[in-house]
Structure 1
Amino acid sequence: MHLIFIRHGESTGNAGLPTDDLTRIALTDKGHEQAQRIAAEWTEAPTLIALSPYLRTHLTAQPTCERFPQVPVQVLPMEEFTYLEPSRWRGTTRDQRLPHIEAYWQRADPDHQDGPGAESYNTLLRRVRQTLARLQQLPPDALVYAFSHGQFMQALRLSLLFPHWTAREQMAHFWPFNARHPVLNGERMPVRWVQGRWSVDAVEAPSRRPARQQGPGAGHAQQ
C-alpha cells in the first residue's frame, strides 16, 4: 500500500493573518495555486482521496478531486494539532501566540492539556494511530492521496522513524527536528505498508539529547 500525505496549501494563518475558527481557515491565492499544481502533477489515479475535517485541506484537495471525479473521498481524523486553548487565542496572529507555543513545547509533557478544546500530545498520537489503522484496511495495492497538516504529518513521521521513543522523548525532539526537516505547504510525504509495517523515508537522526528548543518553523504555529 502506498500513501502520499500532502500538507495543505498556504493558509491565511500561514501568511501571518489573524485566525479565528481554526477549522475554517482559508487558503491564500498562493495556496490555491499550490493546490492546482498538486492536482496537475499526479501521474495516476488513486484508490482513495483522504481529507482532514478542516477547510484548508478540502480547498487544497478540490482540484485533485475534480481531476479524479470517480475516486471516493473520505474524511479521516488527521486534522492539525490544537494544543493551545482556542477560545483564548481567537483573532490572534502566529507571532502573538509564539511565546506560549514555545512554552508548550519546552514543557514536553505529552499528557498536558492547555484547556477546553485543546489536545494533549498523546491525543495527537492516538489520532495518528487511528488514521493509519483505518487506511491499513484498504487493499494491499491501494494508492491514497491524503491531504493533511504539518504537525500531524511530522508526528506521524517521528512515530514511524523512531518507534522506540516514548511520547515524552518524541515531544522533546519535535521542534528541533521540525526546524531541520520542516513540512512545507504543499509538500508530499510518501508512507508505505511493507512486510507488515509502515515505513517512511529516512532523514537525519537527531541526537538522543535534543538541542536547545528552537522556535517553530514557518507555518507550523498551530494553524
Structure 2
Amino acid sequence: MRLIFVRHGETPWNRTLQYQGHAPVPLNERGREQALRAAQRLMRHGAVALYSSDLPRAWETATIIGMHLKLNPVAMPEWREIDVGLWEGLTPDELYQRFPDHMREYDRDPARTARLGGESYAQLQARVIRAFHRIEASHQAGDTIIVVSHGGSIRALFCHIIGLDLANFGKLWLDNGSLSEIVRGRSGWRLLRMNDVAHLEDLVVEGGE
C-alpha cells in the first residue's frame, strides 16, 4: 500500500504569510496551476481512491486532481489544517506583537501549546493518525491512495511515521502543490519521498500555513 499526499495549491494568504487554519480561503491562479500539474503527474500512478480535507483550498485542489484521474474525492474533515483559533488571518510578526505571553509559551513547547482558541500540534497529530488508520483499514495491500491535505497535517503524520519528536515539526517543509509518499512494507510504513516539486520548478514560492 502506498499513500501519496498532496499539499493544497497556493492561496492569497500563503503569499502574505497569514495563518489560515480553518478559514475558507480559496486557491489563487498559481494554486490552481499547481493542482493541475500535480494531477498530470499523478495520472500514471493508478490510484484507486482520493481523499481530501473539506476546507476549500484542499477540496478545490482535490477536485482538479479528481477530474484528471477520474476519481471522486471523498471528504475527510480529519485531514483539515490545525485550527489556529485567534491566529487566523495574522502573520507571525503580528502574533508576537499582539500575544507576547502566549507566544513565549508557544516557543517553549510548540507541540503541546494550543493556539488561542484552537488546537495544539499534538491534538492535530492525534486526529490525522486516526484518519490515516481509517484509510489503511479500508484498502488492500497493493492499493495506491491519494490524500489532499495541508502542510501542518501532513507534517504531523510524518513525525509519527518516522518517529520524529513532534517538537521538530517546524524543521520539515512542504511547498504548495508538492507530492510526498509513504509506503507500507514488511517492516511497516516508510517515508519514501517528501516535498517532491519536480512538476512545479517555476511555481514554487515559500509561503505560510
Which band: TM-score by shorter chain? 0.7 to 0.9
Mark the runs of 5 or more structure 1 residues left unpaired by the alignment. Answer: 204-216
For the structure 1 residues 128 and 21, does the alpha-carbon distance in structure 2 shift closer, same or farther, using more than 3 Å as the test?
Answer: closer
- Structure 1 residue 190 corresponds to structure 2 residue 181: yes
SS state at 1:24 partner: coil
Q: Which residue of 2 aligns with 1:160?
A: 161
Aligned residue for 1:209?
none
Matches within 5 A, 1:127-146: 127-137=127-137, 138-146=139-147
Q: Secondary structure at the match of 2:180?
A: strand
- The question of 1:33 aligning with 2:33 is answered yes
Q: Residue 97 of structure 1: which of 95, 98, 101 is its match?
A: 95
Aligned residues: 193
User: Structure 2 vs 1, CA of residues 26 and 201 (structure 1 numbering), >3 Å: closer, same or farther?
Assistant: same
Q: Which runs of 4+ in 1 moved over 2 A?
A: 17-23, 88-105, 109-116, 217-220
Aligned amino acid, residue 174 of structure 1:
F
Give 1:159 deviation, angstroms: 1.5
Structure 2 residue 8 is the aligned partner of structure 1 residue 8: yes
The 1:13/1:186 distance shift into structure 2, 3 A limit, reads: same
| Structure 2 CA distance for aligned equivalents of residues 121 and 26 of structure 1 | 24
TM-score, normalised on structure 2?
A: 0.79
Deviations 1:88-142 (A, max 9, x none): 34553454236669646412164433443x0122211211210211111111111
More helix, by proportion: 2
How far, CA to CA, are the matches of 2:123 and 2:21 in structure 1?
A: 20
What is the identity percentage for the equivalent residue pairs of Structure 1 and Structure 2?
Answer: 23
For 2:169, the aligned partner's letter is F
Distance 1:41 1:202 in 2: 15
Q: 1:131 to 1:96 in 2, by over 3 A?
A: same
Q: Is the 8 A contact 2:53 2:80 kept in 1?
A: yes
